[in-house]
Structure 1
Amino acid sequence: MIRTIIVDDEYWVCQLICDLIDWNSYGFEIVGQAYNGEEALASISSQKPDLVFTDVRMPGLSGLELIEKCQPLSPDTKFVIISGHSEFEYAKSAMQNGALGYLLKPVDPEELTDLLSSIKSSFSSVQRKALEDEQLKRQLLDNRLKLKEQYFLSLLKEDICLIDQFPLALINDKCSSAFARGQFQVFQYTIDSSVALEYFDASLSAISGRFYKDLSALCYDLVSVKLHTSVVCMANFQEAAFSEVNRTARDIFYFFKQNLPHIPDCRVTLGIGCVSDQYISRSFVTAREAIHARIQVGTNRIIDLSEAPYDSVSMDAYFQPKDRQAILHYITGTTDKNAQAVIRHIFEKCFYRELPNPSVIMKLVHAVLKYIYTLPVSNNLDVSPSAPLETAWSTAEALSSREQILDYLTCLLEEFKALCAPPDTSATAAQTILAYLDKHYQKEISLNNLGKLVFLNEKYVSELFKKEFDVTITDYIAGKRLEEAQRLLLNSALSITEIAEQVGYRDPKYFAKLFKRRCHVSPAQYRKMYK
């Protein structure tokens, strides 16, 4: 609706114009009437209407003077002049001052509706142009933001230390940013939960949006990048703003710690990096180390390395030559130890003692991963793991407890051993799985349990079975169940619901659907046709 005020020094004229047509049906809403120029000026100043119909000659403040005085008070308000024949020169002057049109007294309903149609079209055009301009402005801002985020994301994935090689002017030129000489600090928010990663995306976006919203007024510029289960946020600000920036970043943490109810078993951790005015990468590194430290000190808290970042720690004391030998011997099958024992022995040196740096555990994880992935090349083993090293490291960074680390590296070690094992060993594992399925097909069977049965990674179990028997585990189980269902339909008096439950289906409708898809008739029809 176009909000409209009617102004005339004669009450009955105002009322007549209001009642002359159905204004709402034309898209106009009468929001007020005024009976002199001063009263109209006050009403326009407070209500900021879209349109004003005003008489030219009024006591005190004329229509022309009203238009002039309203310009600074309500610059977007438009005017239509109402005048008598003898006042046409006034109307002409008003048109020159920006009035949209004029009406002669007495006002003719047809002339009024024609004018309203013209004005509405004009308003729509202006509003459409304003909307297009706003959308273009927003798109340009979004594009600049995406460019900045992509630039920093590429550095994080490649080597964040590269950022220290570029002057700020070059960085600003590359990603249309406005970073300035001052302080840089990184805040990394990480979500830990047992649910799948796709549930995190909306929450990570919410944290990122809140960071931009709450800190933009305090900073020269800032950037927020989603990385795996984290949001890595960098703020660039004056030294005087340090306390306010840190308080705000912490407030964001406390807000989301309390407000992520849609993610089960959710824990949020904030890692605060050191403040830097020269080596920006140092703040990124220390924020990441703070997040890594949650393995040692716990999640759902703030871990602040801003004032006293830890010195780098050599892995020689934690990942020794004998540890490397134990991994090699396990993968090549020249030891009696199982994978879990090998991994636990390596990590007990940092799991159960006081550490000089709480991020040592993740540094050791990275060292172990790198070594495992170099083994096939260095020992001429024809091995293609299911995921590259970068993906394995990303998976490890999302782990939040010691037991998760042990389980993950144990499974990875088992996968590499299975990949390196002779063909007959794999065949034996496939036969073991087949025998287990033949015996337990009516029960709930998970890949995880099958993996534990043959000491292999669950993903590799599925691939191994398909390769050996040219059928997936799921399809094989379904086939066994339906074969037994056919036998029971012909050789027992059990109901179809009882047969469905006996072969492993709790839902008889789902059982009937699968049965018909395989046998092309329903269970009842099959019993009737063949019994």
Structure 2
Amino acid sequence: MNIMIVDDEYSIRTHLVAMLRGMVGLRVMEAVNGEDALQQMERSLPNIVLTDIRMPVMDGMELIRQCRMRYPDVWFIVLSNFAEFELAQKALEYGARKYLLKATITKDSVVEEINRAILLLDKSMEKEAKFEPNEILMVQNSLFYERLNGHIHNTELLRRAERLSVSVYMEAFHTPSKFAIMEIERFVDWTGNKYRGRADLAVYALINVVREIIKRWNKGNELFHLGDNRFVVLDLGESDDDRHALKIEDISAITKQYLGLEASFLINCDFSDMDDFFQKVLESRQQLVHFFYEKNACIVNTKHVPAPVADLDLYSFFQSVEGIGNERLQVAALPGLIEAYFELLRHLCRPSVSVKGDLKTLIQFIEKSGFAVPASLKSDIDQLLAFRLTDFKLVFTEWLGELDWNSRHRKEISKALTFIHDRYATKVSLEDVCAHVNLSRSHLSKLFKEQHGISVMEYMESYRLKQARLLLRTTKHPISEIIDRVGVTDVFYFSKLYKKHFGINPSKDR
């Protein structure tokens, strides 16, 4: 049991130390004021503190107040003079358990009070340590939340973990490792349908399934509930990015198989120790915006995500990327225009709260190109509570349907465009597109050219180049990587096509 004596007078400290000498199992620490005491607590937390009230730098009242938030289990005994009786009473309101008058203090009274404190602390520890498995998970996550939000420090976290037999904090975080953030899709719906809205039961069901998986990798692995539908998956001792990604894919598959849930993951979050772990978890929250811009059940590698772009004249930027002016567009160009704009938003990955404003810019662009956007579409955008960017995109897709675009341009052409937009980054041939829409090569080529004025492969080439221009202007990826991402294999051929299409070399355009 650790005890700390806090007093600015050396003679009083040594006198109290002498009184406590001989008590078995007691380790005595000394501090000259409240600030000194707090600094020592960062390294070694006492169970009991005897503190004076009036001290320079930081007095006993402020010490108790700060410890009430940071170390609430520390047992405080206040030392006071007769003239400080009201302050001593106030200290009891702050959380002190007892006050002793300096004028009448004796060795017997100090030892009696210390023994009483030890007895009550031991009983409290014994009572709190008896938890069922699910209660252990609750306590484990409570400690995680307290430390993550800065309510306690490592010393107090480890002390409570030891007292409550929560092993993960005592055994983990000693070697470089990884973690992933797991976000469950439609978690509220699942909780309501299967657990009648009991979020606690839903969380425990998920935690128990995932823990069974991750403990196969390392018995010290744990799953922490970050809040709402998000969880932190520990992958202790892992240093290989690809192996970590395969493990996460395993979690995704089993979670879907046994719970009927789909999840998105932010993976390859590295950390070296406990402080680094909690700091990286806090930082990772800023990167979760990328989920909004991806498809459901996506896996995002934290090492490959660019920083969000906030300040940008989106109208001018989109106009320059597309390489078009304010001239009136043909109705056949609308789907490609809308697709390109949503792809731009995905690459920019601005804060999701800005999306509705960004979509008003798209509407402005469409209207200046000669099309009337109905008030109902604008209202739908304003009122939509979107889970993904694709939820907004669906509103525009439905509007295109109302324009009767599909019937006038054949369902097969619509399917061909969707296929190209989804697969442009891979090796796609005209035969692949024909097979997808179930038309012969000659028939598809004729229909496509009638509607777009160019061939299928010319359209695909143009779309690839636009995506390359987008990457050039929104990322720092080398050109060799960009051409690979858009499905072009030769850098010299790419440069030639790019200059022909946009009238400028890729490197100068960047």
Does the alignment reach a TM-score above 0.5?
Answer: no
Give the TM-score of the pair, scaled to structure 1.
0.30
Give the TM-score of the pair, scaled to structure 2.
0.31
